Amino acid sequence: MATIRDVAKLAGVSVATVSRVLNKTGYVNVETGRKVEKAIQQLQYEPNSVARGLAGKRTSTIAFILPDITNPFFSEMARGVEDKARELGYTVILCNSDDQGQKEKTYIEVLKKKYIDGIIIASQTLSSEDIQKMQQDQIPLVVMDRAPENQHCSVIRCNNYMGAKEAVAHLVEQGCCKIGHIYGPQELITARERMLAYEESVQGFSWYSPSLMEPGYFQLNGGQEAVKELLRRHPDIDGIFVGNDLMAIGVLKGLNQLGRRVPEDVAVCGFDGIALASMTIPELTTVAQPIYEMGELAALTLTQQIESTKPLPSVFELEPIFIERSSTRREPLA
């Protein structure tokens, strides 16, 4: 492969000049520029990114740390990140953390050594101190689904609380007389917010009891198992607000196994709006986050932080959209 030196020689200029036309930085005579361009063409020259990285401290590479790419929510988000990053000239490194702090930290060390330009974190176990520490290292950061108080980096999130309120209100409107909730891991702020909204929405009702809430892991089986436990305790439940779509799909399965019809016997509402939710039988009512767009926005925000002289952390709170489908569509009770 040709180097910048070869180009300089062929064009009869110095490597500095070639570097200038390559990076469109500083002044360069139009005529000289043309000569250099021509030499680049002739030699099929492609600048070496690694050398560039070492000399310039920039690698045009970002990392996306997420719990598990196998989770459709995160793969949709990853697609958004990757598409936007590529559009902007960045390459993205994929890091599965399984929400384990240790894996995240190990990754961050590796990434720093690689002169990664910035990191998007959609994993929740990193403490505020960890994040502050990264700030000291000057490494641009965007976190997903964090509380906005965190002023050390940009955050992109959804209004989980309002979305969940809407979901529960909808179940009430549909005539549900005893609504349960299956919530995700309470280390996740998103899970906490959704649960809080549920509690505040239903605690005024006479039928309410804390035992209507059941924990579940944010996975397919999580929902399937949790719903069985929930119905064992409260066989008369006729509506369930589930903490995320993946669990909700498991809930549909669990209810089916228990012989309950959805929505006739039990109405089910999820959260997230993953693509799959429109393919279940029955189709899943859900609170849809703009998942792909959140990924795109994260990539855009991060690169802006990278490329601007002064990092300007900002908070984006997006609004989810309630989507009514057949898993909750029932005739009003007589």
Q: Enumerate binding residues for DNA (CB under 7 A).
A: 1, 3-5, 12-17, 19-20, 22-23, 25-29, 31-33, 45-48, 51-52, 54-56
Total Cβ atoms within 10 A of residue 24 = 8
Q: Which is nearer to a copy of itself, 150 or 326 (CB)?
A: 326
Q: Answer with the entry of a copy of itself, DNA, none that 23 interacts with (C-beta below 5 to 8 A by kind).
A: DNA
Q: Answer with the entry of a copy of itself, DNA, none that 22 interacts with (C-beta below 5 to 8 A by kind).
A: DNA
Q: Answer with the entry of a copy of itself, DNA, none that 296 interacts with (C-beta below 5 to 8 A by kind).
A: none
C-alpha span between 68 and 66 (Å, rounded): 6
Provide the minimum distance between the beta carbon of 13 and DNA in the complex, in angstroms, as a whole number: 4
Sole residue written with tokens 């598409």: 83
DSSP 32-62: HHHHHHHHHHHHT----HHHHHHHHS--SEE
Both structure tokens of 332: 């009003």
Provide the minimum distance between the beta carbon of 17 and DNA in the complex, in angstroms, as a whole number: 4
Distance of CA 77 to the CA centre of its chain: 5
Provide the minimum distance between the beta carbon of 106 and DNA in the complex, in angstroms, as a whole number: 18
C-alpha span between 232 and 226 (Å, rounded): 10
Phi, psi of 50 (to 5 degrees): -70, -45
C-alpha span between 148 and 34 (Å, rounded): 50
Q: Which is nearer to DNA, 31 or 331 (CB)?
A: 31
Q: Which is nearer to a copy of itself, 169 or 275 (CB)?
A: 275
C-alpha span between 116 and 118 (Å, rounded): 6
| Closest to 218 measured CA to CA, from 176, 168, 182 | 182
Q: Residues interacting with a copy of itself, by CB under 8 A?
A: 46-51, 53-54, 59, 61, 64, 68-70, 72, 75-76, 78-79, 82-83, 91-96, 109-115, 220, 224, 249-250, 252-253, 256, 275-276, 279-281
Q: Which is nearer to a copy of itself, 49 or 127 (CB)?
A: 49
